[in-house]
Amino acid sequence: MKLFYSPASPYVRKVMMMALETGQKVEKLSQSGSPVNRDLAIVEHNPTGKVPTVILDSGETLYDSRVITRWMDEQHDGTPMYPDAPRLWTVLRREALADGLLDAALLARYETVMRPQDKLWPAWLEGQMLKIDASLDQLETEVESFVDIDAGLIAIGCALGYLDFRFSDLGWRDARPALDTWFKTFSMRNSMIETKPS
């Protein structure tokens, strides 16, 4: 499969981690789009112009990281990253929580980096940061049950990695020692090391 790729995107990282964890090959297609300047090469396959967008060997297109990783999980013979119910609902909930954290982090990043200074909206930024904090607090309460690798934990790892990459001064570890300990161990996975943004 071919993947429209941005090395800084945590959603792309989810797809690349899934590929590495399940032994699948991905051809990377670079992109140069942004939220205000869409890459027409991507738009041709995905009207939103977002990454990740995948072109399958059949020519069919998939987009949104959760759709792509779910499809990828159907393509390998190893341990499912989306297990059967009832555990599936926990995995999907954790993936949604991690993606919600990422959505808030990206909106906060756009607000502080891309928006013109005279148009900054402090209340909007504060609202996004509160979502991040609440999500981190929830992860701290359940981190002791993070055991076997699955799509939910991949998403959580990518979300925490993005905070380290773009919000290094956030200090999210200070009040969440158990989550910090888990993430230090999870970060040693080969799939995390090979996909770390620089």
How many angstroms separate the CA atoms of 106 and 13, rounded?
Answer: 14
How many angstroms separate the CA atoms of 18 and 4, rounded?
Answer: 15
pLDDT score for 36: 79
Asked if 10 contacts 192 with a C-beta cutoff of 8 angstroms, the reply is no
Helix (H) or strand (E) holding 125, with range, is: helix 122-142
The pTM (predicted TM-score) of the whole model is 0.95
How many angstroms separate the CA atoms of 189 and 16, rounded?
Answer: 13
Q: What is the pLDDT of residues 41-67, one digit of tens each?
A: 999 999 999 999 999 999 999 999 999
- To the nearest whole number, what is the mean pLDDT of the chain? 95
CATH 1.20.1050.10, the chain: domain bounds: 87-189
How many angstroms separate the CA atoms of 56 and 3, rounded?
Answer: 9
Asked if residue 32 has pLDDT above 80, the reply is no
Beta-strand (E) ranges in 41-193? Answer: 53-55, 61-63
How many angstroms separate the CA atoms of 53 and 3, rounded?
Answer: 6
pLDDT band at 37 (very low <50, low <70, confident <90, very high): confident
Asked if 8 contacts 16 with a C-beta cutoff of 8 angstroms, the reply is no
CA distances from 181 to 99, 105, 152, 186, 195 (A): 21, 22, 18, 9, 20
CATH annotation of 87-189 = 1.20.1050.10
Amino acid code (one letter) for 169: D
CATH annotation of 2-73 = 3.40.30.10
CATH 3.40.30.10, the chain: domain bounds: 2-73
Of residues 113 and 25, which shows the higher confidence score?
A: 25
Q: What is the pLDDT of residues 115-137, one digit of tens each?
A: 888 999 999 999 999 999 999 99
Hey, how many other C-beta atoms are within 10 angstroms of the C-beta on 101? 27
- The values of phi and psi at residue 87, to 5°, are -65, -25
Asked if 82 contacts 88 with a C-beta cutoff of 8 angstroms, the reply is yes
Question: Within 13 Å of residue 198, how many CA atoms lie on the same side as its CB?
Answer: 3
